[in-house]
Structure 1
Amino acid sequence: MKSLRIILLSIFMFGYQLASAQATGGISGKVSLFDGQPYASASVTLLETIKTTLTDEQGRYSFQTLNPGNYTVRIQILGTAQKDISVQVLAGQTAMADYQLTKENVLALQEVTIPGNVNKFSRKESVYVARLPLKNLENPQVYSSIPKELFQEQMATDLGSIAKNVPGAGIPMIANQGRVTFRSRGFDTEPNARNGVAGAAFASIDPANIERVEVIKGPSTTLFGTSIASSYGGLYNRVTKKPYNGFGGELSYFAGSWDFNRIAVDVNTPVNADKTALFRLNAATSFEKTFQDQGFTNSLSIAPSFSYQITDKLSLLLDVEFGQAKGTSVVRFNPYISPTVASEKSIKELGFPYNKTFIGNDLPYQTQMMNIFAQANYKMSADWTSQTIISRARSSINGYITALRGTAETKISPQIITGSTAFIATNIQQNFIGDFKIANLRNRLVVGLDYYNNSNDFDRVTVNFPAVDFTNTPVSYRVSRFKVDSLTSKGALRRESNGDNTYSAYFSDVINITERLLAMVSLRMNHFENKGVYNITTGETSGGLTAAGKQNGPYKQTSLSQKFGMVYEVSKDHVSLFGNYMGGFFNKSGVTASGAAVKPEQANQLEFGVKGDVFDHKLVGTISYYDIKVKDVLRNDPDNLDNYQIQDGTQLSRGVEVELTANPFAGFNMVAGYAYNDSKLTKSSPSTNGLRPGLSGPPHSFNFWMSYRVPQGELKGLGIGFGGNAGSSAYHTNTTTTKIIIPAYTMLDASIFYDQPKYRVGFKVDNLTSEKAWSVRLTPQAPARFIGNVTLKF
């Protein structure tokens, strides 16, 4: 009887559910871009039930078990006008409610991925470059975008390898803590922006959570300030991976030369039933020895991210980066410069050993990085959106940092810095973004307030070792921890802290004068407050002057920077002509011999060129010419050489950049770039006046990567890739008496891979010919490196 009751109850429940299903209905639909491609993560709300969901990667959504009647589906995408669709639900039926965006609303203020583009290396659309939903052809500024499709195919596992695809980036300069610096238009540029705001990291940055790298060219202070280490050449912005509506991920393993081992994981999942709360985790761990006689790196990166569509108008994104590493410093060689004897030699002619470090593996550094990023988007109205961002970045360095100082033509003195350093940066932004019309002219406007706080602590001792001949060094010679620790008490002690605050207000307006003619007007006011240098040992904040006339005490500076641009689309959505005039600045400390405080250093850029996106996105490119003039550069006062500086130095940087991505036929994709840079110190000390600055990189550089993947048939997914980088000779040191030349180089790479829906395997060789090459800091580059990869997709 008990079994019978259970059977009857089951039949009753099934019948009830069947009757309920027949008595109710549902609503389904798809949200797509103007070209028909699906739009993921759009907010869809059913007003009568206050139910909200997000579209999946196919742009689809659904609401089920709805009572028959009339409903309103509201589709909200931040940065675009909301769309209300009236729908009638009938019992036992599913009503359809699709929505397709217009051309004017291709971008939103949250992360947008445009899938299906056959030119997979071209992902130019960005909401960060202009801080507005602005298409590449509408933007009067030049920028490069390196998507994950490109650097994943290249099996790039570090930022230096990714940046090889940027015209003019050159060989990356690796600092002692794994930090990486690139060249841009003749100036140092670091990847210290993350999702458009400060994300400074004085340590190595693992690319496990990077969706793409955006390289914004030219002085960019007007929209981004100086807090995120933008240079006059531009800035590098790391766009991180965002959660999406669906379950999926990858597990990857890499192995290669010099005991290289790496495991990376990417897992994404919805958190709640409505799929409005999403979670994604990216993590990686790596170990590698160097090709030299000593040296290693061991790292761990964990990067969770969480997004929540709280209401149809309010969304939240939380993004965290945690990384730690232990390793030895790369070779940093500073050759001897004779004050009296003129010389001109290549680094090859100096005879410095290519495979030797002189430093033992028992002198490692340890770094830890924690970056927290939170963003709230609130749709205030159909035309206005509020964007609130809080970013906090912390980096710490402990252990040993090394350098090799030249004391004679063939002698070096190893220099060891031991101790701890900590950097903390806090950035708070409030932006209001509008898209509206005035006198029938479309305006896209961002108005923002920005607060940035920087705090640094140093507790370090510097130890200098006796000189040794690097051309005839004893085999047993090695700087060890025992030797360093025994000399630490005799070293130079630095125990201090410093910090600064920056308060900024800015706006940028893009006006459609006609459908094809656009104008950009931007302005930033920046107030900088330096807190001075606090000596922890003495308990005093230093003031007055250093030996070079610089001021260590607190000071304040206020600056203005501008950005003006024009775009004319010769062929709507295909070809545009552009030009810009924009400025940048850096705060400088010190006083002149007259007692007057120095002012911020300034730079202005004039740039023009052409952008194209033709043949159904199969050919995308930019050709530009730029002219950067730097003024108010500090230099030693020739009449007061030991005590003061004067602020009349100038520098020019001019050049041409070309970047192309192409998909000429099915399965074949390529990216190529060329950069020419002519930099010159036009008013400086007599020893450098009129010369190209040292460390400014090669005047000519070229990069390319091409790949072919079988598009169909039994071998579908099988592919090969080939590319490389080349640079003309450059200078480490360039004065009227001493020139240390970095030779020209050509480094070629090749790969083969097999990519399937559930897995991917690949093999690559970097630097096929084992070309000997050096960074601007004279760090030798690795010879041929072999790497294999297996990735499982789920």
Structure 2
Amino acid sequence: MHALTTRLLRQPFTTLLFLLLVVASLPAYAQRGVVQGHITTPNGQPAVGVSVGVQGTTRGATTNNSGDYRIGGLNPGTYSLGVRLLGYSTQERPVQVEAGQTSTQDFQLVASTEQLKEVVVQGAQTNKFARKESAYVGKMPLKNLENPQVYATVGKELLTEQLVFTVDDATRNVPGLQKMWDATGRGGDGGAFYASRGFVLSSQLRNGVAGNVTSDIDAVNLEKLEVIKGPSATLFGSALTSYGGLLNRVTKKPSDTFGGEATVAAGSYGFHRVSADVNLVNPNTPADQPQKLAFRLNTAYTYEDNFQSAGYTGFNKNLAVAPSLQWRPSDKLTVNVDAEVYQGRGVGKQLVFFYFPSSALGFNRADKAPLDYRQSYLGPGLIQDSRSTNLFGQVQYRISPNFTSTTFLTSSHSFSDGAGPYFYLNPVDSATQAVTLSRADQSTQNSKRQIWEVQQLFNGDFNVGSLRNRVVLGLDFLRIDADVNFLGGGFDAVPVVNVPGYNYRTFNGTALAALYATTPPPHYLVTTKSNTYSAFVSDVLNLTDKLSVLAALRLDHFDNKGGISYSPNMAYSQTSLSPKFGLVYQPVKDRVALFANYQNSFKNPTDGTYIDVNRQARTSKIEQANQWEGGVKLDAADGRVSATVSYYDIQVQDLLRSTPVPESAPGANNGIPNAQTQNGTQMSRGVELNLTANPITGLNIVAGFAYNHSEWKNSSEIENGRRPNTASSPYLANAWVSYRQPTGTLSGLGAGFGGNYASDNRVQNTTLSVFTLPSYTVLNASVFYDQPKFRLSAKVDNLTDKQYWVGYTTMSPQKLRSIIGSVSYKF
């Protein structure tokens, strides 16, 4: 409680501002008008879930279980009232609103097959890659222009056009996001790592709650990928997010119509894949009624050899199964139960570390290293088995037309067992005068990590007087239970140059097992457990139809149960507050939005204590990251151009930094080599541009640019003033341009071309050692012929056969040119 009080006293301005924003919504204005009415289906039944809006205002409502709606807080005047529901003709009519009076406007929906046809045709003509709203980014339904936070969305339409099969490949369409480390499949920490705004993050959220996958994540069940930028702990907590943001996978849901798609694909490096997406419904349900019970299954099997050594030593095969069941026992209650099961078996991709300082290697760039880009440097049998099993439940209940309750239950389990080969570049051997490569293993043995999350949301959309409030109140419990067993060590060291015909296959599964049988390897355990209890509230308040403010606050109590993380960890608990504020002004309503935000995130230390320069054990404080950001969002040219331009500044404080005390220091008593001080700081600032456009019918453009400047401001002496070696490339760009013939005999025929650029990336960056992964431009292309009953597609990734590396303090060669074709049947 003392920590909470202290935090409030430290932030009197933010606490006062939050309270003022809440109080500002309290005045009531009686002299307003009301529009209400009753909406029925063509057969006279109440129409549920129909959107009713007052054009030119932020006022709107959705019909309740009885087909009724009510819109209050309207200034006197004449308005246009619109009624819309997919599958029915849109209706609009003028309505006169008088002060203190209620106007009744009833509607009967008219079924329209023409409208459904128009949707299909329009999809080829409009900005089909733009996703202009999200229910997850703000934990409430918000249009992009209404949200002061920056996020990027990659939808399934773009993934289909690019013939993308994994989340890894989907991320190449996100401005300012760079892959740093391929997925290893290891239980607990095996997922791919990315960099955003100078910080490391991974994909640990699914539909807004925990859903970690430690292997390559198949995109067969992906409706869209949301990448939310900047510190986001206020709504999402700190355990599954990063100071740079988070990745949220939004999955496909059961629909009200029967249908599906089956696809087969094959290509380079032995690639072959089969996938299916099937939606089942009750055929006896009337067409104008929602399905009470629907089931959807997405599944895929993929096999691919490693591009190195012609696939002789490396392969990966993955199975993804994602069933989903939706039950709607009433118009108010919806229950979703779904799962993700990923099983993988294969050999890890090449991961190379460096001798420190790397200046002793005789080269300081990956393209100068003597390694053979196509050589895997290991033999067969170094196989790992991995599994990720995620179970989800969601219960949504409409309490009233203005309030909804949503309960999430999620259970996330990862498992791995088997070899984890890696490599280490060493300086020139004095005897052979050649650079050597150490070969080593870090296996996992029955390693597990389990996450449980229970989240309760109460959403409201209501007026207090003339002020519209969209509110979410959340309660959250998160438990993380690690039971990871690492084992292994060095195997041998081999030359990498000037040795024709050298047998690199001696490092294999049989030899490694024999080594461990004669010399049991050391084990390194991670058995930590923690509980996090949280409560948060967020309110978007419309002061006018053009001006809105957002205020949010999270109370987070972290309870570390202790355990082992390579060494014993003590139990401890900490409480923190995380505020968030935002402002949106739309000088041109629904077209241009000026926004600004303050966002916060924090991190609880891995261990609760550290040793200071006086050899005293100190309790670690909570790290803090604070972001200020501003920019502009556009939805111009009748929706054909969507863009976001922003500038951000992130300051991190209370970092632990190494401050060793040498033996020669007075009273040092043989020195304190592990001494630390918790006053480190880091700065990260930059600009980002995200553009999605449809300049002419059939032509679509997706593009992005990001520049990030990161710097240690108060760190160890060898790092001060330098860019962190985990911050990735400072300049990143992405682009994709495609054209699809919208009409005529060639309707559905199209092609796309684009790629990614990354500047030099210093993966070691100190006064003692600098090692650089060189800049790269990777180009991709696709062609497709999409028809109502089938789709033919082909793609070329890495069109120019570019040799390039990614890394997270390491270097990993990436796949060379590959060609894949696919055939899909739709039903």
Q: Which position in structure 2 is the counterpart of 1:767?
A: 798
Measured after TM superposition, the shift of residue 47 of structure 1 is 8.6
Write the mapping of 1:448-597 to structure 2, written as runs, cut at 5 A.
Answer: 448-472=474-498, 475-478=502-505, 479-488=507-516, 489-495=519-525, 497-533=527-563, 552-588=569-605, 589=607, 590-593=609-612, 594-597=616-619
Residue of structure 1 in register with 2:9 after alignment = none
Q: 1:291-324 deviations in whole A, cap 9, x for unaligned?
A: 1013110010100111111211111111210110
TM-score, normalised by the number of residues in structure 2: 0.81
1:360 Cα shift? 2.1
Cα RMSD (Å): 2.7
Q: Corresponding residue for 1:225?
A: 237
Q: Is 1:412 matched up with 2:437?
A: yes
Amino acid at match of 1:222: T
CA distance in 2, matches of 1:195, 1:189: 17
Are 1:766 and 1:786, in contact at CA under 8 Å, matched by a contact in 2? yes
- Unaligned residue ranges in structure 1 (runs of 5+): 1-23, 37-41, 49-55, 62-82, 88-95, 101-113, 536-541
- Aligned residue type for 1:416: D
C-alpha separation in 1, matches of 2:356 and 2:729: 21
Flag the 1:280–1:382 CA change in 2: closer, same or farther, 3 A. same
Cα displacement (A) at 1:339: 8.3
Give, in whole Å, the separation in 1 of the partners of 2:359 and 2:755: 41
Give the distance between the partners of 1:512 and 1:116, measured in 2 at CA: 34
| Residue number among 292, 301, 308 corresponding to 1:285 in the alignment | 301
Q: Aligned equivalents of 2:387 and 2:215: distance in 1?
A: 7
> What letter is aligned with 2:491?
F
Q: CA, structure 1 residues 770+231, in 2 after alignment: closer, same or farther (shift >3 Å)?
A: same
Q: d(CA) in 2 for partners of 1:166 and 1:687?
A: 33
Question: Conserved in 2, the CA contact under 8 Å of 1:395 and 1:424?
Answer: yes
Per-residue deviation at 1:115? 6.8
Give the Cα–Cα distance (whole angstroms) in 2 for the partners of residues 730 and 174 of structure 1: 16
Q: Which SS does the other structure have where 1:486 is aligned?
A: helix
2:144 alignment partner, one of 136, 140, 143: 136
Bigger mean CA deviation after superposition, 769-778 or 352-361? 352-361
Q: Which residue of 1 aligns with 2:417?
A: 398
* Pairs within 5 Å for 1:175-186: 175-177=183-185, 179-186=191-198
Contact 1:32 1:59 in 2 (8 A): no
Could you give the per-residue CA deviations for residues 517-567 of structure 1, whole angstroms, max 9, x where no partner exists? 1111111111111111159xxxxxx9xxx6xxxx71111111111111100
Displacement of 1:86: 7.1
Once the two structures are TM-superposed, the CA of residue 709 in structure 1 deviates from its matched residue by: 0.7
Q: Write the letter of the residue equivalent to 1:683.
A: N
The C-alpha deviation readout for 1:137-175, integer Å capped at 9, x for no partner, is 010000000000001100011111110000111245203
Distance across 1 between alignment mates of 2:685 and 2:253: 37
1:432 corresponding residue in structure 2: 458
Q: Supply the distance in 1 between the matched residues of 2:706 and 2:110 (Cα, whole angstroms).
A: 45
Q: Measure the CA separation in 2 of the matches of 1:31 and 1:99.
A: 15
Runs (5+) with no aligned partner, structure 2: 1-41, 55-61, 69-83, 90-102, 113-121, 286-290, 429-434, 662-670
Q: Distance in 2 between matches of 1:115 and 1:310?
A: 33
What's the counterpart of residue 751 of structure 2? Answer: 720
- What SS does the corresponding residue of 1:490 show, helix, strand or coil? coil
Distance apart, 1:344 and its partner CA: 6.3
The answer as to 2:704 corresponding to 1:673 is yes
Q: Distance in 2 between matches of 1:689 and 1:342?
A: 24
User: How far does the alpha carbon of each residue in 1:386-417 deviate from its partner, in whole angstroms, 9 at most, with x for none?
Assistant: 11110110010111112112332522221212
Deviations along 1:540-598, whole A, 9 cap, x unmatched? xx9xxx6xxxx711111111111111000111000000000111011102234333201
Contact kept in structure 1, 2:233 and 2:601, CA below 8 Å = yes
Alignment of 1:125 onto 2:133: yes
What is the aligned partner in structure 2 of residue 630 from structure 1?
A: 652
**C-alpha separation in 1, matches of 2:597 and 2:448:** 38
Q: Give the AA of the match of 1:644.
A: A
Partner of 2:665: none
Separation in structure 2 between the aligned mates of residue 713 and residue 733 of structure 1, nearest angstrom: 56
SS of residue paired to 2:705: strand
Aligned position for 2:404: 385
**How many angstroms does 1:84 deviate by?**
11
SS in 2 for 1:161: helix
TM-score by length of 1: 0.84
Q: After TM superposition, where is structure 1 displaced by more than 4 Å over at least 4 residues in a row?
A: 24-36, 42-48, 83-87, 114-117, 339-344
> Aligned residue pairs: how many?
704
1:714-773 deviation line (CA, Å, top 9, x unaligned): 111111110010111111111112111111101111111111110000111111111111
User: In the alignment, does 2:676 pair up with 1:645?
Assistant: yes
Cα 1:44/1:284, change in 2 over 3 Å: farther
Structure-2 change in CA distance of 1:361 and 1:60 (3 Å)? farther
State the SS of the aligned residue for 1:518.
strand
Shift of 1:33: 5.8
Opposite residue 316 of structure 1, the aligned amino acid is V
Aligned partner of 2:381 among 340, 353, 362? 362
SS for the counterpart of 1:348 is helix
Aligned counterparts of 1:716 and 1:585: Cα–Cα separation in 2: 51
Of 184, 189, 209, the residue aligned with 2:221 is 209
Matched residue SS, 2:364: strand
* Further displaced range: 446-455 or 640-649: 640-649
Change (3 A) 1:435 1:98: farther
Aligned-pair CA distance for 1:272: 7.1
CA distance in 2, matches of 1:318, 1:558: 33
* Cα shift at 1:28: 9.5
Task: Look up the match of 1:12.
Answer: none
**Given the alignment of the two structures, is residue 239 of structure 1 paired with residue 272 of structure 2, yes or no?**
no
- Alpha-carbon distance in structure 1 between the residues aligned to 2:409 and 2:66: 31
In the alignment, the residues of structure 2 paired with residue 148 and residue 592 of structure 1 have an alpha-carbon distance, to the nearest angstrom, of: 50
Maintained 8 Å contact 1:160/1:172: no
Given candidates 741, 746, 767, the residue that maps to 1:710 is 741
Displacement of 1:616 in angstroms is: 1.4
Q: Following TM superposition, by how much is the alpha carbon of 1:707 offset from its aligned partner in structure 2, in angstroms?
A: 0.5
Please say if 1:654 is aligned against 2:673. no
| Kept in 1: contact 2:124–2:698 (CA 8 A) | no
Q: Is the 8 A contact 2:359 2:769 kept in 1?
A: no
Distance 1:531 1:29, change over 3 A: closer
> Match of 1:736?
767
Partner in structure 1 of residue 32 of structure 2: none
- The range that moved more, 270-279 or 367-376, is 270-279
Amino acid at match of 2:648: Y
The separation in 1 between residues aligned to 2:672 and 2:436, in whole angstroms, is: 29
Task: Decide whether the 8 Å contact of 1:427 with 1:451 is kept in 2.
Answer: yes
Q: Does 1:309 align with 2:342?
A: no
Shift of 1:136: 0.5
Conservation of the 8 A alpha-carbon contact between 2:358 and 2:771:
no
Instruction: Quote the offset at 1:378 in angstroms.
Output: 0.9
Task: Decide whether the 8 Å contact of 1:709 with 1:718 is kept in 2.
Answer: yes
Q: Confirm whether residue 168 of structure 1 aligns to residue 176 of structure 2.
A: yes
Tell me the amino acid that sits aligned with residue 482 of structure 1. Answer: T
CA contact (8 A) 1:190 1:235 kept: yes
Q: Which residue identity lines up with residue 610 of structure 1 in the other structure?
A: V
- Kindly state the Cα deviation for residue 200 of structure 1 after the two structures are TM-superposed: 1.4
* SS in structure 2 at match of 1:167: coil
Compute the displacement of 1:58 (Å). 4.6
